[in-house]
Structure 1
């Protein structure tokens, strides 16, 4: 019998609020956390808006050595992991540490610290031969993304499998999918899993400006991210982290844990087509959705809500609308769909984990978060995208999808354990 995997703890560091409670309040209020970039002077860039986290590491309980040692993305992950562990009620000290694993997703790793330190050791880019004497002692930690998984593992006392999954914008979903497989195959009983990202930096702005992926709507930051809207013109960068505690179902039940949802199905595909382009028929995403539903042993008609990738680019929003129709048939028109990127921006590798946390909360509260800023629907995006206002809606089975540069397409199905047919 296949071991079933459930979510028993949630932690979040997100634009607009630190902690799961503040995160959920922001989403259900339909409030946007996007604003003009404050982390650095954005004036030289085409896109000057982002969804930043108001994060004070001291207030969030990090000590001076942690603050010195950890990149901003790693700080997010540590804080989110602490909240998730507390929420789960797990006494990790009473468990075999070799049976606790870590899986963390990130697209761009410790970009913020690497860029900051390069500026220092190159004397603002003047020196071709950089001077190592000016480098901080922890520069190597910033260079190697695996350091973030190590930090999270130390928080949990986890001595089992540990990995960083980096598949661009699907990293969060894929890291959770990896964690699920480790529990199913028996390599771990508990996984501390999720994703983290702090990409809001000059080099990231330059990269996205170069391909015109981010919005130039700088005069109205709050409404700049508008998925599925006819007037959308690019994504808004974000940052943040979500960490989840995953456990084998029967073990969680024996200890009386609160179960948010079962991760019943996961699948990923690649379109092997183009670094940034998407085929309009959505076939690869549809294949990932169909495979994830098959693993969950659920028919598409069982879905009560779809959390869309909804990046607010012309190409993506039409691509996944087609994918939903292709994979779900007529049920696509009857299923509420929304994109929380309209409120918290696109945090690259972290967003998939933040979206799964939101899906678990939607199931917990039977409320579907809205798509903010959707005032003029694109005629090509003709599904029920829950515009502007959250909706009370019984939610027993949820699909969340991700799409990343390079052609990555991932899909994950959550279900109440009693609703899922997985065995």
Structure 2
């Protein structure tokens, strides 16, 4: 059976301009949340977000690339460049027809579409807009597939290419799809991950309308509080993470460093409600059980769980129930944490960012904490690693995601015992 390993990691996240800054931030448990700077947030209920310190020129993007692409594509380019450099493969040695691209995103080019509508409509005054006033690359913003196309051109990939848009599970699902391309012998190497730049007036207003985001504007750094009794909603974020996935034999033939192996992936839908969750967590529990079965792991084998942990009462309790359903008594012993307490919730991108955290936790033997978890919700009575990171041997890690529309996904990543240790 063909096996999938992770040989490169790239991250652009709030409070972390690259993989190493991101890792230090989440291990230290220092939230990167502040008042929104992208626009004036004064009219909104929730006026805070986790924004990236992102200058495209600093990452080597040319003025032409910046002009034709949305910020979410630029974030993907930057993190993909880092991941490919990290994997150590000479681009000239890659077989283009055996290289794929899979990118996840929930909202796509939200920033460009909103900005261009504002210009074309004169701030919404004109019902019939004048197309002469929009940018010449607006068609690329309309189709989320432009992100995969840009990365394919950038790396010369001529194998399968796709964009996965399953809401907040898009990052996990994109890497899961890439994993299957490798196990199905459709590709030997896939650049996979997710990117999102949703900090726009429209997105903020949409989450305001359903009161999903926190109104704790006076204390931004303590506003994201997964599993805490005093949480008031999630904090919107942005960012990107890209993993280089390789078929194990392909990686070994070039003596590649391996972070971990992808050993299980499963997804379910709850068929229940667009934004609601069943309190028993049955569908997420089933996804976890399926992924664990693919990895051939007993319930007590996990060394770390990266929780969805959005910081809403409904999600946190649903997720707690799912862990108990899938893991039984072992759910009380495994360390679980949510890095959304530090980097916010970047919608489709967050699953890929959390999988980068899992791969690094396996390679470096550290479990990042849940920041701001000061007063645990009594109904969330598992070990959610409050406030401080822990040294731990993590042979197997589980990453879980839950998204609007009822999407529930789970992925298991495992140490590859015969690989060279990751730096």
TM-score (norm 1): 0.98
Question: What's the counterpart of residue 200 of structure 2?
Answer: 201
Question: What's the counterpart of residue 85 of structure 1?
Answer: 84
Question: What's the counterpart of residue 97 of structure 1?
Answer: 96
Question: What's the counterpart of residue 164 of structure 2?
Answer: 165
Question: Matches of 1:69 and 1:141 in 2, distance apart?
Answer: 8
Q: Which runs of 4+ in 1 moved over 3 A?
A: none
**Taking structure 1 as reference, are residues 419 and 368 closer, same or farther at Cα in structure 2, changes over 3 Å only?**
farther
Question: What's the counterpart of residue 118 of structure 2?
Answer: 119
Question: What's the counterpart of residue 140 of structure 2?
Answer: 141
Question: Matches of 1:93 and 1:157 in 2, distance apart?
Answer: 10
Q: Superposition RMSD on alpha carbons, in Å? A: 1.0
Shift of 1:254: 1.4
3-state SS of the aligned residue for 2:24? helix
Question: What's the counterpart of residue 253 of structure 1?
Answer: 252
State whether residues 199 and 347 of structure 1, in contact with CA within 8 Å, keep that contact through their aligned partners in structure 2: yes
Range 13-22 or range 87-96, more displaced: 87-96
3-state SS of the aligned residue for 1:98? helix
Shift of 1:238: 0.3
State whether residues 81 and 155 of structure 1, in contact with CA within 8 Å, keep that contact through their aligned partners in structure 2: no
Question: What's the counterpart of residue 332 of structure 1?
Answer: 331
State whether residues 9 and 87 of structure 1, in contact with CA within 8 Å, keep that contact through their aligned partners in structure 2: yes
3-state SS of the aligned residue for 2:59? coil
3-state SS of the aligned residue for 1:332? helix
1:228-272 Cα offsets, whole Å, 9 max, x none, are 000001000000000010000111011110100000000000000
Question: What's the counterpart of residue 71 of structure 2?
Answer: 72
1:337-364 Cα offsets, whole Å, 9 max, x none, are 0000000000000000000000001111
Question: Matches of 1:326 and 1:40 in 2, distance apart?
Answer: 43
Q: Aligned pair 1:270/2:269, yes or no?
A: yes
1:93-137 Cα offsets, whole Å, 9 max, x none, are 222201000000000000000000000111111111110000111
Question: What's the counterpart of residue 39 of structure 1?
Answer: 38
Question: What's the counterpart of residue 345 of structure 1?
Answer: 344
Question: Matches of 1:416 and 1:325 in 2, distance apart?
Answer: 24
Question: Matches of 1:67 and 1:185 in 2, distance apart?
Answer: 35
State whether residues 93 and 157 of structure 1, in contact with CA within 8 Å, keep that contact through their aligned partners in structure 2: no
Shift of 1:7: 0.2
Question: What's the counterpart of residue 306 of structure 1?
Answer: 305
Question: Matches of 1:380 and 1:171 in 2, distance apart?
Answer: 28
Alignment of 1:178-327 (within 5 A): 178-327=177-326
Shift of 1:58: 1.1
Question: What's the counterpart of residue 2 of structure 2?
Answer: 3
Count of residues paired in the alignment: 419
Question: Matches of 2:362 and 2:175 in 1, distance apart?
Answer: 18
State whether residues 337 and 384 of structure 1, in contact with CA within 8 Å, keep that contact through their aligned partners in structure 2: yes
Question: What's the counterpart of residue 413 of structure 1?
Answer: 412
3-state SS of the aligned residue for 1:309? coil
Question: What's the counterpart of residue 53 of structure 1?
Answer: 52
Question: Matches of 2:4 and 2:414 in 1, distance apart?
Answer: 11
3-state SS of the aligned residue for 1:229? coil
Shift of 1:92: 2.5
Alignment of 1:390-405 (within 5 A): 390-405=389-404
Question: What's the counterpart of residue 130 of structure 2?
Answer: 131
Question: Matches of 1:4 and 1:53 in 2, distance apart?
Answer: 34
Question: Matches of 1:39 and 1:187 in 2, distance apart?
Answer: 41
TM-score (norm 2): 0.98
3-state SS of the aligned residue for 1:330? helix
3-state SS of the aligned residue for 2:151? helix
Shift of 1:419: 9.4
State whether residues 195 and 350 of structure 1, in contact with CA within 8 Å, keep that contact through their aligned partners in structure 2: yes
Question: Matches of 1:61 and 1:104 in 2, distance apart?
Answer: 20
Q: Aligned pair 1:20/2:29, yes or no?
A: no
1:353-390 Cα offsets, whole Å, 9 max, x none, are 00000000111110000000000000000111110011
Question: Matches of 2:355 and 2:58 in 1, distance apart?
Answer: 26
State whether residues 82 and 155 of structure 1, in contact with CA within 8 Å, keep that contact through their aligned partners in structure 2: no
Structure 2 residues not aligned, in runs of 5+: none
Question: Matches of 2:298 and 2:417 in 1, distance apart?
Answer: 15
Question: Matches of 1:89 and 1:36 in 2, distance apart?
Answer: 38
Question: Matches of 2:412 and 2:298 in 1, distance apart?
Answer: 11
